Amino acid sequence: MNLHAVGVVYRKELTEWLRDRRTLISTVLVPLLAFPILISGMISLSAVLIGGAKKEVPKIMIIHGEDSPAVVDALKSNKEIEVVPFADNWMDQISDKQIRAAVEIPEGFQASLDKGTTQTIQIHYYEGEIKSEFGAEHVEKSLKAYRDDLVKKRLEAKNLPDTLIAPFDTKQHNVAPPEKVGGSTIGSMIGYMVIILSMTGAIYPAIDLTAGEKERGTMETILSSPVSRLDLVLGKFLLVFSASLTTAILSVTSMGLSFAYMGHALAKTSGAGIHMNLGLTSVVAVFLMALPLSVLFSAVLMTVALFAKTYKEAQSYLTPMTFIVVIPAVASVLPGVELTPKLALIPILNTSLVCKEIITGTYHWGSIATIFASTCVYAAVAIFVAVKIFQRESVLFRS
Amino acid sequence: MIEARSLSKRFQDKKRGEIRAVDKVTFSCEPGKIYGLLGANGAGKTTTLRMLATILEPTDGTATINGFDVVEHPEKVRANVGFLSTATALYPRLTAQEMVEYFGRLNGLDEPTLKKRIEDIFSRLDMNGFRDRRCDKLSTGMKQKTSIARTLVHDPPVMIFDEPTTGLDVMTARTIIGFIADCRDRGKTVIFSTHIMSEVERLCDHIGIIHGGKLLEEGTLAELRAKHNEHNLEEIIVKVVGPLANAEA
């Protein structure tokens, strides 16, 4: 191996890569802009939907209740809802969004209350329809206030204190540090995203440097130079690897900033935010674990793309490969899938699982070493195969 | 110096089985001379030249380029060869100068030598007007000049041209022909393939006629004319190749 030659090939490929608008869009612009656009879109959409739903005074229909005027009056006195006259087709009206919910008061409800027996009031709504859910929520709040008031009056009538029905309170207190809270919220997603994006970032350069060269007629030009096939493959591989890493780093940075912004925005509007205070050590550890996987992706993608004669043909080969990567990566974020010694040897799935653990602050050094070493071995094999394939005339000059 | 000894290349084809693209071809070419390899499409010219340039590896036999064996020392062979064909395109996103610099560096030239070589070649080929223009923005003539500069940058003693003027306009073809003659005048060993007989008559010191992968006839133009009692080179080729081509048909 001649390091000078590898460096010369790499520098040339880097120059061309930086001048290729198509590759730059997929490797730099898309990962940088995708998350901010997605997140700001989600925030805007939810603000419009939730804001609109909150502003509306929902129309509510009362079913029966003629013999229970007190509960009906309690509902009618709530300014946050508008009680409309009863109609037989109340269910259709909820479906057609003419009313948002209906309250069904059982017959003899008031009499049951007076006797001290329990009856159930049903609130009919349309699940998944946000305005209907808000309407049902208002009705429930109103009925709960009526019930609390009733309990209070009953206790007072018997000269009993409020504490009789609430002898003690409970309060949750979180002891997990903020990075672990953040980790559990988006931890599994970070590892998943690093893996997926380090692959997508490698696709276009891998095609451009192999099938692209064949299609443009420059493959024969470079093969006539004294550079060895090994140095040529390594120079090209380093560029694909750089692109893969660049995409992953830009994506995670962009995703982190977008999540932080979203957390801040949500905290401002609803008081509930997403903690993004992930430890730098965890993020660096995730990248270190993803490095050999990125090497593996770069080498495999280059090898597969080299079989193609044209850019389009290479794309058709690499598209199914995306699924091969997505499936284990998705499997790792499913609840209940945990890292085991056997799973630690399955590429992609193992890295995705260990990244999930690292982000949540768990370091199983034995598993980490196994996964890092096994992925390094897979990556080395992939590079070896890439070099061998690059020496096959039947692949380079396929007709 | 080029010496091919029983140079052979076989390919496996799923439909046609084994194909003998080049079959025991033996010839030599000396410094300061031009060897013309003539034959129809599919005769084996390109495969022969690709083996000499070590882009393809011979199945049997071998060749030496300036003393280096194409099988044993392919990288040293390539360092001694300038290879130009219609299939050797330029990198579209590099400028003409970057393209030539890239190949200079791959050939191990140090920066001062590379700079001097580029200034010399760019002046000689009148390329200074477009040296900073990207290759995908160059005219056909400019591209050919850049390709020539790319093959010359390491000053190789052996030049291999595979149908270098195919598809080019008259003026660009003239540039290439002038360049090939210049290579011979500078003492380089030159081998080239073409379909254009006027180019052969004008340039070649030695001619080889290849068909079906076999070298059927070899000699100087005068020797071939005398042997076949025919002045027209095209007629000579028909006489040599014709019986075989008719039998195949």
pLDDT digits (tens, 9 = 90+) for B32-61: 999 999 988 888 999 999 999 999 999 999
Inside any domain, residue B77: no
Which contiguous run of DSSP H or E holds residue B243?
Answer: helix B233-248
- Half-sphere exposure in the Cβ direction for A375 (13 Å, CA): 28
- What pLDDT is recorded for position A9? 95
* Confidence bin at B248 (pLDDT 50/70/90): low
DSSP B129: G
- What pLDDT is recorded for position B158? 95
Inside any domain, residue B103: yes
Rounded mean pLDDT, A179-192: 60
* Confidence bin at B31 (pLDDT 50/70/90): very high
Please tell me which residue, A327 or A333, carries the higher pLDDT value: A327
Rounded mean pLDDT, B82-97: 90
In the listed set B155, B184, B208, which residue is the last one of a domain according to the structure?
A: B155
Rounded mean pLDDT, A258-267: 70
Distances (CA, A) of B248 to A307, B8, B241, B242: 33, 21, 11, 10
Return the minimum-mean-pLDDT range out of A9-18, A154-163, A280-289.
A280-289
Asked if A217's CB is within 8 angstroms of B87's CB, the reply is yes
In the listed set B155, B190, B215, which residue is the last one of a domain according to the structure?
A: B155
Backbone angles phi, psi at A391, to 5 degrees: -95, 0
Are B188 and B246 part of one and the same domain? yes
Are B134 and B92 part of one and the same domain? yes
Which contiguous run of DSSP H or E holds residue A185?
Answer: helix A178-208
Inside any domain, residue B81: no
- What pLDDT is recorded for position A275? 52
Are B172 and B57 part of one and the same domain? yes
Nearest beta carbon to residue B55 from set A9, A223, A228? A223
Cβ neighbours for B99, distance < 8 A, ≥ 6 positions apart:
B90, B91, B135, B146, B149, B150
* Confidence bin at A153 (pLDDT 50/70/90): confident
Identify the contact set of chain A against chain B, taking CB-CB distances under 8 A: 4-5, 8-9, 12, 15-16, 19-20, 216-218, 220-221, 223-228, 393-394, 397
Asked if A12's CB is within 8 angstroms of B94's CB, the reply is yes
Kindly state the percentage of chain B with pLDDT values over 70.
97
- What pLDDT is recorded for position A7? 94
pLDDT tens for B106-119 read: 999 999 999 999 99
- What pLDDT is recorded for position A124? 94
Pairing state between β B68-69 and B81-85? unpaired
Are B27 and B97 part of one and the same domain? no
Nearest beta carbon to residue B106 from set A15, A216, A227? A227
Inside any domain, residue B80: no
Inside any domain, residue B228: yes
User: Residue A13: is its pLDDT beyond 90?
Assistant: yes
User: Residue A270: is its pLDDT beyond 80?
Assistant: no
Nearest beta carbon to residue B105 from set A8, A16, A224? A8
Asked if B55's CB is within 8 angstroms of A218's CB, the reply is no
Nearest beta carbon to residue A218 from set B56, B89, B105? B89
Are B164 and B67 part of one and the same domain? yes
Please tell me which residue, B249 or B72, carries the higher pLDDT value: B72
Are B100 and B180 part of one and the same domain? no
Return the minimum-mean-pLDDT range out of A9-23, A178-192, A299-313, B149-163.
A178-192
* Confidence bin at B214 (pLDDT 50/70/90): very high
| CB B31, CB B189: distance < 8 Å | yes
Look at residues A284, A296, A278, A282 and name the one whose alpha carbon lies nearest to residue A371: A296
Q: What's the domain count of chain B?
A: 2
* Mean pLDDT score of chain A: 83
User: Residue A295: is its pLDDT beyond 60?
Assistant: yes
* Confidence bin at A193 (pLDDT 50/70/90): confident
* Confidence bin at A340 (pLDDT 50/70/90): confident
Rounded mean pLDDT, A265-292: 67
According to DSSP, the residues that pair with A101 across neighbouring strands are A60
Return the minimum-mean-pLDDT range out of A28-37, A227-236, A271-280, B177-186.
A271-280
CA-based nearest distance A220→chain B, Å: 6
User: Residue A247: is its pLDDT beyond 80?
Assistant: yes
- What pLDDT is recorded for position B86? 76
Are B167 and B146 part of one and the same domain? no
Please tell me which residue, A274 or A264, carries the higher pLDDT value: A264
User: Residue B196: is its pLDDT beyond 80?
Assistant: yes
User: Residue B245: is its pLDDT beyond 70?
Assistant: no
CA-based nearest distance B229→chain A, Å: 40
User: Residue B94: is its pLDDT beyond 60?
Assistant: yes
Are B165 and B106 part of one and the same domain? no
Are B163 and B144 part of one and the same domain? no
According to DSSP, the residues that pair with B159 across neighbouring strands are B82, B190
User: Residue A371: is its pLDDT beyond 90?
Assistant: no
Are B163 and B247 part of one and the same domain? yes
Rounded mean pLDDT, A7-20: 93
- Residue ranges making up the domain that contains B226: 1-71+159-249
Inside any domain, residue B82: no
Asked if A8's CB is within 8 angstroms of B106's CB, the reply is yes
Residue with tokens 């499913």: A334
Inside any domain, residue B102: yes
| CB A355, CB A194: distance < 8 Å | yes
In the listed set B134, B155, B176, which residue is the last one of a domain according to the structure?
A: B155
CA B215, B221, B226, B231 dihedral sign is positive
CA-based nearest distance B74→chain A, Å: 8
Please tell me which residue, A182 or A57, carries the higher pLDDT value: A57
Are B61 and B183 part of one and the same domain? yes
CA-based nearest distance B221→chain A, Å: 30
Q: Which domains, ranges and CATH numbers included, belong to chain A? A: 3-38+178-396 (no CATH), 58-161 (3.40.1710.10)
- What pLDDT is recorded for position A302? 92
* Confidence bin at A266 (pLDDT 50/70/90): low
| CB B76, CB B85: distance < 8 Å | no
Inside any domain, residue B115: yes
Q: What is the CATH number of the domain that holds B208?
A: 3.40.50.300
User: Residue A261: is its pLDDT beyond 90?
Assistant: no
- What pLDDT is recorded for position B106? 94
| CB A251, CB A31: distance < 8 Å | yes
Are B136 and B163 part of one and the same domain? no
